[in-house]
Chains A and B, each alone.
Chain A
Amino acid sequence: MARSTDMAESDAPVSTLKSGSRPKDAGLGTEHARVTGRTVTINRPRETLYAFWRDFANLPRFMENVADVAVLDPARSHWKVAAPGGGSVEWDAVIVADEPGRLIAWESAEGADIRHSGRIEFRDAPPGRGSEVSATIAYDPPGGALGALVAKLFQREPHIQARRDLRRFKQLMETGEISTAEPPEAAPRAA
């Protein structure tokens, strides 16, 4: 059946839309928010993946830039992200949506220097293929020196950072390790 012409013509995810086609509320509700998304298929049940991710203390095991996440209470966590050239940037994040086995969403707490939000969704992949995991990260780059630092933190291309982090998450969940060609002293901390 033909689609009505005034309906959306595409089922493409928001993160893949070209800038002119992107709805203004896609990110943090501001026009300037940068949004990046990435979906990966992981050959494990979504309940397992959700459970690992829901313990935010696990995140530094596969997120390259995140040095530490301290879980303060069931909703609130404190993030420490390594800054280029030493030092770190820290903020609190609050879980704003939590549906076991399906979804976790968080936002930076009121007053954080860097406004950002993250959302991870878990769906069944086609039969026998595990789960599809989609991460969406939005952040609102501040101006000035801090803006430049944030750009570096997200390696100017948050899409690349997101896909690397998701690859490591997939490696850890599927193989129990994080692949590396580095010698023992330089290898990632993962397992």
Chain B
Amino acid sequence: MRALTWHGKHDVRVETVPDPGIVNPRDAIVRITSTAICGSDLHLYDNVIPTLRAGDILGHEFMGEVVEVGRGNDRLKVGDRVVVPFVIACGKCFFCEHQQYSACDNSNPADKADMSEELYGYPMSGLFGYSHLTGGYAGGQAEYVRVPYADVGPIVVPDGLEDDKVLFLSDIFPTGWMAAENCAIEPGDTVAVWGCGPVGLFAVQSALLMGAHRVIAIDHYPRRLELARGLGAEVVNYEEADVHEALVEMTGGIGPDACIDAVGLESHGFALDNVYDHAKTTMMMATDRIHALRQVILACRKGGRVSVPGVYGGFADKFPVGALMEKGLSLRTGQTHVQKYLPQLLELIREGKVDTTFLISHRLPLEDAPNGYRMFKEQQNECTKVVLKPH
């Protein structure tokens, strides 16, 4: 089959690779009809996530048609149209039973989980197409993909809803939704969202659906701020205004009740290459630059809530722990527990209560994927989301 493979910094290629096959009884093989490039794929593209190997297939936002199921999978059948969560979860461990799917104890293979355990104290779940730290599972920017524990993750979608409407159930819609849920929004609340990338924009929509009184979105790309405004947010361009002062003034001196960091380690670049070594020393050298998170914690009102869907991987310097403690902030974060949210979010899409297609700026055949990466990286104002069509 054809697949998008990683070979090094800014070097991704579409190559012919072996077709995937059923390995375990609960597996399924999915023929991909749509797959997107995620902002977090750019970390891989920039070669700042360790443990990728030349030839690894990328992609964790995908959907398609089930073409084969393992003998132990009684939930899916050949021909089902499914969206697949980027988080791989077994459905049987303590964490899955508590719907903390991204903390699944079993999906990261035993020999791959060591590094995750060294870094974080306990190993996190496997993810599709996202380095060997998260299992080394082949991703979905390909014609076919093997889906482990396919009786837990994938959600069957009705034929009436086209791919573009449901594809983002795989990651960015539930990620934005969980970011807003982590804000524990109350009537009258003002929610500030740092970063108007796909996750930030879904967080804007989600916060409004959950009853936020106002949402203020922060970015510097005019096109992305325009999208946020179109969804009902007020906007602040951080190149034009002092964000902290603006938020104080816009909220009558109180500050936003809840703040979302949808920027993550992208904000000022990132160097994780030696993070594993750092974790093993007591030096705890900083690896993640947290400009946005620092601003989030300082801007949040006293007793407010901070939600971090933005991806961080290592250690940070000058974390404002004093502001966090003295103001009595609550901090909630985590990789998305995608499986938990799928039924309710699919229902919102069916009812037309959320717009999931506004983001897509480019639709390309799989063969053009390297060009898609380059555009998404270099033209962030115009290129808001690339969807690849392998078939």
Residues of A whose CB lies within 8 Å of any CB of B are: 41, 43, 64, 129-130, 160, 163-165, 167-168, 170-171, 174-184, 187, 191
Contact = CB atoms under 8 A, between A and B. Distances in A.
B90 A175 contact: yes
B93 A176 contact: no
B18 A183 contact: yes
B109 A191 contact: no
B55 interface: no
Contacts of A165: 110
A177 B26 contact: yes
Contacts of B23: 180, 182-184, 187
Question: For the complex, would chain B's binding face be called helix, strand, loop or mixed by DSSP majority?
Answer: loop
Interface stretch (B130-138, B153-161, B178-186, B325-333): B130-138
Nearest to A171: B106
Given A43-B92, A175-B106, A181 B112 contact: yes
A183 B108 CA distance: 15
A43 B106 CA distance: 11
B97 A43 contact: yes
A183 B27 CA distance: 12
Nearest to A62: B110
A180 to B, nearest CB: 5
Contacts of A168: 110
Interface residues of B, number: 33
Interface string B118-141: 000000001000000001111000
Contact of A41 (B18, B94, B107, B135): B94
B21 interface: yes
A130 B94 contact: yes
A174 B112 contact: no
Contacts of B117: 163
Contacts of B108: 179
A178 B107 CA distance: 9
23 contacts: A43-B93, A64-B110, A160-B114, A163-B117, A164-B114, A170-B106, A171-B90, A174-B90, A175-B26, A175-B91, A175-B92, A175-B149, A178-B24, A179-B106, A179-B110, A180-B109, A181-B126, A181-B137, A181-B138, A183-B18, A183-B23, A187-B24, A191-B25
Nearest to A157: B114
Contacts of B22: 184
Contacts of A179: 24, 90, 106-110, 126, 135, 148
Contacts of B136: 181
B113 interface: yes
Contacts of B92: 43, 174-175
A128 to B, nearest CB: 9
Nearest to B114: A160
A183 B1 CA distance: 14
B21 A167 contact: no
A184 B21 contact: yes
Contact of B25 (A64, A163, A177, A180): A177
Q: Which 4 A-B pairs have the closest CB atoms?
A: A167-B110, A177-B24, A164-B110, A184-B21
A124 to B, nearest CB: 14
B266 interface: no
B286 to A, nearest CB: 28
Given A177-B24, A179-B108, 9 more contacts: A163-B114, A168-B110, A170-B106, A171-B110, A175-B91, A180-B23, A181-B135, A184-B22, A191-B25
